[in-house]
Structures are given as structure tokens and as C-alpha cells.
């Protein structure tokens, strides 16, 4: 069966998250419904990251199988035609090998968390960033962020309902970049624990506001205790911006359009 990889962009507002659930509308369910409407086939769209309710994406990746070959631009456009009522878009469709899996083949996931640091209320970024009125020290946040780099037990920054087998993760990149009143926090790792990015960002906010020092953040990490975490940053500021794969895993299948 032909396997297709799609790059997906969505506004997570109003959705229960990526994964199909019984308590509301999920991104996955909308995509599967659109593919059925376009192709007449029931599929499961497997995503690279199970983003939570309210989390956005500009580079989510999914894969699914169909019984017949599609011209890739037509497949993309047909799916999008059946999602016009939703703020979800398939940016690209690719034909991939049968070994490719959006989730398990991924070697890196990249997130950005957006804060807006000003006293004036939100306008354009309302619902798409965490607005913080008190002045934050972005330089102190950047210095503290480096304490979390590397391989650690991230139990402090792990949601109590996290289902991962191990709290150990390797944080490859964690940086704080300020441009005017906007502060973007970039995080990259092979995988993240449930609520890990939002928990780390909320703890960095404590550093930026002067409540914590960089040493306090590092001590919280090593405590491996959820009670030592700072606040959990709101979902609206988090974006899944990219998923990386090994070239061999992602290779186009031979003789596919």
C-alpha cells in the first residue's frame, strides 16, 4: 500500500489536541475525515507529536496508507478542500517508504514557546502567546536555560499523567531569544515528556522575574520532584515547528509518483 507523509500546520485553539478523543474535536480526527472525504478510504493518521489542547503547529508531520497511488499535489489539495471549516492545512504531501513512521522514525523535534513581555494587553498575539506584564530578564533566562542542556532525569518537568517509560531525556538545544517585547524560547530534543517544554518555560519565567536564580533552576532539575517545578506555561504559546528525520528513513519509495 502506498504510504504518504504530510506536513501539517494548525491553530490548536478549540481543539482537544492532536490525538482523537471522545470529549471534543481533535486535529487527527479532522484530517482522517478529510482524507476519507477525498479518497473514500478510512485511514489512521499517525502524528510525530501528540500536541496538547490549545498547542499550535507549523511543522507537524503525519503518515498514513492508501490503497492507490495519488499525484502528490492533488492529494494535498483534496485533503485541504475538505478542511476549509477548520484552521488546519496540509502544506506538503510526499511519498515515503513503508518503513517510515512519523513518530518512531523522528530523530529530533523542535518547539518554540512564545512570550510577549509588555504592560499593554494582547491584540494580534492574543491566544497565540503568553502575555506577561512584569518585566523579564531574558539574559538571565538564557543563562539559566543552559543548565538544562544534556541528558537528565526530567521528572521535575514531567506531568503527573505522563505515560513515558522513562523520565530521562537529552535536551539538545534550549535558548531564549528576545526581539523587542517578544521572547521566543527554542527547544530541541529527540523526544519530550508530557508538558516538559511548558514546565521548563514556566520555571524559566521564575528566573526572568527574579523569583529564582539559575542555581535554583538547576536544583529543581536535580531534585527530580514535580513539586519543585515552577508554573506550567499556558498551552497557547507553544508551537511544534519541525520534525527531523534521517535521510534513509525518509527516502522516497521507488516507482511512486
pLDDT per residue as tens digits for the range 210-251: 999 999 999 999 999 999 999 999 999 999 999 999 975 554
CB 243 within 8 A of CB 89: no
249 part of a folded domain: no
The total of structural domains in the chain comes to: 2
Residue 129 lies in a domain: yes
Q: Is residue 86 part of a domain?
A: yes
Nearest to 63 by CA among 109, 17, 31, 88: 31
pLDDT at 256 over 50: no
pLDDT of residue 250: 53
d(CA 100, CA 94): 11
Q: What is the pLDDT of residues 44-78, one digit of tens each?
A: 999 999 999 999 999 999 999 999 999 999 999 99
Strands 130-132 and 106-117: what pairing?
Answer: parallel
pLDDT band at 255 (very low <50, low <70, confident <90, very high): very low
Which of 165, 228, 158 has the alpha carbon at shortest distance from 199? Answer: 158
Residues 69 and 154 reside in one and the same domain: no
* Domain contains 256: no
Assess whether 138 and 82 both reside in one domain: no
**Given the residues 11, 52, 73, 244, the one annotated as active site:** 52
Whether 72 and 47 share a structural domain:
yes
Task: Give me the domain span that covers residue 67.
Answer: 3-104
Q: Are residues 191 and 83 in the same domain?
A: no
Q: Is 52 a catalytic residue?
A: yes
Digit-coded pLDDT (tens) for 73-95: 999 999 999 999 999 999 999 99
The residue behind cell 527530580 is: 224
pLDDT at 254 over 50: no
Transcribe 63-115 into DSSP letters. Answer: EEE-SS---HHHHHHHHHHTTTTSSEEEEEEEEE-TT--TTTTEEEEEEEEEE
- Measure the CA–CA gap between 207 and 214, rounded to whole angstroms: 7
Both 67 and 90 in a single domain?
yes
Q: Which of 114, 189, 186, 102 is nearest to 154 (CA)?
A: 189
Exposure b/e, 227-251, CB count within 10 A at least 16 = b: ebbbebbbbbbbbbbbbbbeeeebe
Say yes or no: 100 and 162 in one domain: no
In tens, the pLDDT along 117-149 reads 999 999 999 999 999 999 999 999 999 999 999
CATH of the domain at 89: 3.30.70.580
Of the residues 104, 139, 161, the one at which a domain ends: 104
Amino acid at each position: 500500500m502506498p504510504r504518504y507523509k504530510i506536513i501539517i500546520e494548525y491553530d490548536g485553539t478549540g481543539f482537544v489536541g492532536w490525538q482523537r478523543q471522545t470529549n471534543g474535536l481533535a486535529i487527527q480526527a479532522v484530517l482522517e475525515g478529510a482524507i476519507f472525504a477525498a479518497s473514500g478510504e478510512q485511514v489512521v493518521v499517525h502524528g510525530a507529536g501528540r500536541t496538547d489542547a490549545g498547542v499550535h503547529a507549523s511543522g507537524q508531520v503525519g503518515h498514513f496508507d492508501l490503497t492507490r497511488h495519488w499525484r502528490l499535489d492533488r492529494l494535498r489539495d483534496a485533503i485541504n478542500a475538505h478542511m476549509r471549516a477548520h484552521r488546519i492545512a496540509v502544506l506538503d504531501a510526499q511519498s515515503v517508504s513503508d518503513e517510515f513512521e512519523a513518530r518512531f522514525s523522528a530523530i529530533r523535534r523542535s518547539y518554540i514557546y512564545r512570550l510577549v513581555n509588555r504592560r499593554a494587553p494582547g491584540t494580534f498575539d492574543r491566544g497565540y502567546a503568553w502575555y506577561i506584564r512584569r518585566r523579564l530578564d531574558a539574559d538571565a533566562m538564557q543563562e539559566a536555560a543552559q543548565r538544562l542542556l544534556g541528558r537528565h532525569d526530567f521528572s521535575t518537568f514531567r506531568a503527573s499523567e505522563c505515560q513515558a517509560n522513562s523520565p530521562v531525556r537529552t535536551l539538545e538545544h534550549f535558548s531564549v531569544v528576545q526581539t523587542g517585547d517578544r521572547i521566543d524560547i527554542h527547544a530541541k530534543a529527540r523526544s519530550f515528556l508530557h508538558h516538559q517544554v511548558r514546565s521548563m518555560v514556566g520555571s524559566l519565567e521564575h528566573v526572568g522575574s527574579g523569583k529564582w536564580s539559575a542555581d535554583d533552576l538547576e536544583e529543581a532539575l536535580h531534585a527530580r520532584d514535580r513539586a519543585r517545578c515552577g508554573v506550567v506555561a499556558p498551552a497557547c504559546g507553544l508551537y511544534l515547528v519541525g520534525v527531523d528525520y534521517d535521510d534513509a528513513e525518509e527516502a522516497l519509495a521507488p516507482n511512486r509518483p
